[in-house]
Amino acid sequence: MTTAREISRASLLRRGFVLEYTTLVWNVIGIVVLAVAAVSARSVALAGFGLDSLIEIGASTVVIWELSGTGEDRQRRAMRLIGWAFAALALYLLVQSTWALAAGFHAHHSPAGIAWTAVTAAVMFALAAGKSRTGAALDNPVLKTEGRVTFIDGLLATAVLLGLVLNVWGLWWADPLAGYVIVYYGIKEARAALAH
């Protein structure tokens, strides 16, 4: 006989899968949009945000994998995979942003990048709230952590948006500085995920 608690858990798991698949699809589309915008604008921040979207795809895939099974060992492996992906992102962007600032590299304007990051920020904040609530209700640390990753993705979209807008006003250094924001959060999230 199925209890109300089992039905509630099954419903929460379905919601977790929907949130993760939505994140996955959004970021797959985002990689294409960001790649085109980053290449046309020659923007370090857009390229970095595209890589962040790639990591978010990996994180969502890991969470979908983790939600499909159980066990602390599976959760630990999932957290390590997410952590190492963020560490790699931080290292890449640290090098790229430093090179762009040292070389005085000026990115071009990117109306597509501005539009995409503005919409992405709103979508990521909504998905993060859903993941946080669902992860807490399921008592699932991987889903809760990935909810924080999605929230950070929203913050990063906002930081990149600010850098792109400032770049339009001639403040060329705002683009690589937005890359440093991603470095900071990448290191922070890598440390948190690898500590599990």
- Mean pLDDT along residues 150-165: 87
* pLDDT of 4 higher than 70: no
Contact predicate 72/64, CB 8 Å = no
Contact predicate 174/166, CB 8 Å = yes
* pLDDT of 1 higher than 60: no
What are the structural domain ranges in the chain?
4-194
pLDDT tens figures, 41-54: 888 888 888 888 88
CA dist list (Å): 156 to 17, 80, 87, 89, 178: 24, 21, 16, 13, 8
For 7, the token pair is 């039905």
Return the higher-pLDDT residue of 31 and 69: 31
pLDDT recorded at residue 83: 84
- What mean pLDDT value characterizes the chain? 85
The Cα 8–Cα 122 span in angstroms is 28
Return the higher-pLDDT residue of 37 and 54: 37
- Mean pLDDT along residues 55-61: 82
CA dist list (Å): 127 to 3, 9, 117, 162: 29, 19, 15, 21
pLDDT recorded at residue 71: 65
pLDDT recorded at residue 67: 81
pLDDT recorded at residue 129: 96
% residues pLDDT > 70 (the chain): 97
